[in-house]
Amino acid sequence: MGSILLLVVLVLLALWVVGAYNGLIALKNQTINAWKQIDVQLKRRHDLIPNLVNTVKGSMEFEKDTLQAVVDARSKAMASGAGAGPGAGAGAGAGGVKETAAAEGALTGALAKLFVVMERYPDLKSSQNVRDLQEELSSTENKIAFARQLYNDVATRYNTKQQQFPTNLVAGLAKAEIAELWEIEDKAEREVPAVDLSLKKPQG
Amino acid sequence: MTAGPNLFEQQARNRRLTVAWLALFILFFAWLGFGGDFALYLAAAAHSEGPVPYRFPLIGVVVTAVAAVVAWVSWRKGPQQVLWSTGARELTAPQTLQEKQLVDVVEEMAIAAGLPKPRVYVIDDPDPNAFATGRDAASACIAVTTGLLAIVSREELQAVVAHEMAHVRNLDVRLMTLIAALVGVIVVLSNGMGRFLGMGGGRGAGGLLGGRGKKGGEGLGLAALVVFVLWIITLVLAPIISQIMAMAVSRDREYLADATGSELTRNPGALASALEKIETHEAPTTSIKAGAAHLCIADPLGKDVNLKDGRLADLLATHPPMAKRIVRLKGMAFQQLKAAGQAPSS
């Protein structure tokens, strides 16, 4: 009788370990997949920028600095983004998320500045081509933001799961590591509202 | 954000409800089918001595077969039929800036929800409205009227699409498609059997029920009559009852889709202002029929119901009152501002 009871307990325990392990693996893969979604959108943005720069270059000769800032930020972002990962995959570098986030944040800031400056050029605003490009870029910006939002949500769920008792007991078995969240860098965060303020000053 | 567990609760609830509704409708069909047989069996038993001549449950078998076929077809074809009935056209190659924005916004919301991108449809109709349909995330479609595209800003469009995406993610679209299929079956059956009874079928049954039978069979004859009358009443009321049940299921979903949609955009204020615009710009719709009304973001039919808040309005409306939804969304927006430390301190 006692041995049967022991057997039942062991079987239940084994079932629980399998369930918890699979749950963690599923969350890990979701985290990696969510990261890939950001990657796709970032690449799309990198591809669109030369297009935009070329289109507006002619009409914006006096804004060389702004344009150059965008181009520089783009190449920096492309350099830091190569091979970055959420740290969720086995052996992936843990510094990837922070670096990529910083470089992409700077690019977001530079682009936002360019868009604000472009508002001063009526012929640019009325051009169909520029409007389409702008819609595409701002949509890509949104997609990056939403992909980041999804990644952070999934990664948080993954992190919580592997730290909570009793799932944390199988975390080592599933090779679960804390996935780094994509935080908005303070610098970039401060930059964008700074531009906004200069425009909305009259309200005081 | 606390809507995370709510979402999964709602998904689980929708799965449970799907099963419960299937069970309920199967019982209902069984009554519609075999109830008739039961009445005829009792009647036959009242008339004859010895073995009962009515052995094969003909009505039950026919009803079950017809119901299964009709339900299956409308489950598979339902979403396409809804889109077809509204005259929606699929947006595959967007031409204008508006259409491009719509496709972009749908892509953005699909990313935010972590779902495959649903197909996008446009309906040429001046009434601002939108709906989602489908059986699951992979087969989901989102349709928007040109009237909506004309009045909302990009942010508001995003909020409306997020609301529809929430219906997809919460599995509301699946439950709605299923209920529409089942309600359709009941209407078909009720009409069909009514016609059958009106023609010769009823006379035969009436003869069996009304005639004097063997001695001692009167009790059985009375029982048969009671069952038969009950059966007829159900048959007549079936379409109305099932419609009310379907509406009750669809209403409380709107609040949750508002909340989940705001969770996707993190911008409840945009949905509030979109709903305000939809309410003030209402125009008579010609393309959205009653069959698609319960899917829409705003009730296309009984707009005046939105203004009332009584028992009857609550019972018959497919949507909660617009004012209540807007107030809740504005509350969410205020909470968000307060959390960010930007709320006006008053």
pLDDT digits (tens, 9 = 90+) for B320-336: 778 888 888 888 888 87
Q: Contact B111/A41, CB-based, under 8 Å?
A: yes
User: Which residues 31-90 in chain A show a CB within 8 A of chain B?
Assistant: 34, 37, 41
Confidence band for A169, pLDDT divided at 50, 70 and 90? confident
Confidence band for A84, pLDDT divided at 50, 70 and 90? low
Provide mean pLDDT across the span B64-77.
Answer: 84
Interface test with B, best of A138, A146, A157 (most B CBs within 10 A): A146
The distance from CA A110 to its chain's CA centroid, rounded to whole angstroms, is 17
Per-residue pLDDT at B275 exceeds 80: yes
**pLDDT tens readout for residues B22-51:** 788 778 778 877 877 887 788 777 777 666
List the Cα angle A166/A171/A176 in 5-degree steps. 145
DSSP-derived 3-state class of residue B132: strand
- Interface check for A27 against chain B (CB to CB < 8 A): the answer is no
Which residue among A37, A135, A157 sits closest to B97, beta carbon to beta carbon?
A135
| pLDDT number for residue A90 | 35
Q: Contact A132/B100, CB-based, under 8 Å?
A: yes
Residue B91's region, left for phi above 0, alpha for psi from -120 to 50, else beta, is beta
User: Which residues 111-150 in chain A show a CB within 8 A of chain B?
Assistant: 131-132, 135-136, 139, 142-143, 146-147, 149-150
User: What is the token pair recorded at B99?
Assistant: 């259409």
**B216 or A166, higher pLDDT:** A166
**pLDDT tens readout for residues B86-109:** 888 998 888 888 899 999 999 999
Per-residue pLDDT at B282 exceeds 50: yes
Per-residue pLDDT at A113 exceeds 70: yes
| pLDDT number for residue A16 | 92
> Model-level pTM greater than 0.90?
no
Q: What are the extents of the domains in chain A?
A: 2-203
What is the pLDDT of chain B when averaged over all its residues? 78
- Cβ-Cβ contacts under 8 Å for B270 (sequence gap 6 or more): B155, B156, B158, B159
Provide mean pLDDT across the span B279-297.
Answer: 73
What is the pLDDT of chain A when averaged over all its residues? 79
Pick the CATH number of A2-203 from 1.20.1090.10, 1.20.1440.20, 3.40.50.1820, 3.20.20.60: 1.20.1440.20
**pLDDT tens readout for residues B237-260:** 877 777 776 666 666 678 888 888
Q: Contact A149/B105, CB-based, under 8 Å?
A: no
Q: Which of B309, B175, B313, B197 is nearest to B246 (CA)?
A: B175
B99 catalytic per annotation? no
Per-residue pLDDT at B177 exceeds 80: yes
Which residue among A131, A142, A154 sits closest to B108, beta carbon to beta carbon?
A142
Provide mean pLDDT across the span B107-114.
Answer: 91
Identity of residue A32: I
Confidence band for B1, pLDDT divided at 50, 70 and 90? very low
Q: Contact B97/A131, CB-based, under 8 Å?
A: yes
Provide mean pLDDT across the span B250-272.
Answer: 84
Looking at B156, B164, B254, B282, which residue is catalytic?
A: B164
Which residue among A135, A143, A157 sits closest to B111, beta carbon to beta carbon?
A143
Per-residue pLDDT at A196 exceeds 60: no
Q: Which residues pair with B141 in a beta bridge?
A: B119, B133
Say which residue the tokens 């970032």 belong to. Answer: A42
- Cβ-Cβ contacts under 8 Å for A182 (sequence gap 6 or more): A38, A97, A100, A101, A148, A151, A152
User: What is the token pair recorded at B106?
Assistant: 């749908």
How many Å apart are CA A204 and CA B230, to the nearest integer? 74
> In Å, how far are B19, B184, B185, B186, B214 from B240, measured between CA atoms?
22, 11, 13, 10, 39
**pLDDT tens readout for residues A127-160:** 888 888 888 888 898 899 899 889 998 999 999 9
Question: Which residue of chain B has the CA closest to A129?
Answer: B97
Sign of CA dihedral A146, B340, B9, B275: negative
Is-contact A63 A117, C-beta < 8 A? yes
Q: Contact A146/B264, CB-based, under 8 Å?
A: yes
Per-residue pLDDT at B229 exceeds 80: yes
| pLDDT number for residue B163 | 94
Collect all residues of chain A within an 8 Å Cβ-Cβ radius of residue B107.
139, 143
| pLDDT number for residue B10 | 66
| pLDDT number for residue B16 | 82
Share above pLDDT 70 across residues of chain B, in percent, rounded to a whole number: 75
User: What is the token pair recorded at A151?
Assistant: 């990644």
Identity of residue B326: I
How many Å apart are CA A194 and CA A189, to the nearest integer? 9
Share above pLDDT 90 across residues of chain A, in percent, rounded to a whole number: 18
**pLDDT tens readout for residues B198-228:** 665 545 555 555 544 445 556 667 777 888 8
| pLDDT number for residue A93 | 40
Task: Please tell me the distance in Å from A199's CA to the nearest CA on chain B.
Answer: 18
Residue A138's region, left for phi above 0, alpha for psi from -120 to 50, else beta, is alpha
Give chain B's domains with CATH numbers: 3-78+178-237 (no CATH), 84-174+249-339 (3.30.2010.10)
Strand ranges across the sheet with B130-133: B89-90, B119-123, B141-145, B130-133
Confidence band for B273, pLDDT divided at 50, 70 and 90? very high
ipTM summary value: 0.72
Q: Contact B108/A132, CB-based, under 8 Å?
A: no
Which residue among A34, A131, A143 sits closest to B114, beta carbon to beta carbon?
A34
DSSP-derived 3-state class of residue A155: helix
| pLDDT number for residue A201 | 43
Confidence band for A197, pLDDT divided at 50, 70 and 90? very low
* Cβ-based burial of B151 (10 A; exposed 0-12, middle 13-18, buried ≥19): middle
Question: Which residue of chain B has the CA closest to A31?
Answer: B114
Provide mean pLDDT across the span B167-184.
Answer: 83
Provide mean pLDDT across the span A71-80.
Answer: 85
Q: Within chain B, where are the H helices? A: 3-47, 58-85, 97-113, 146-151, 154-169, 172-196, 202-210, 218-265, 268-280, 290-293, 311-316, 322-339
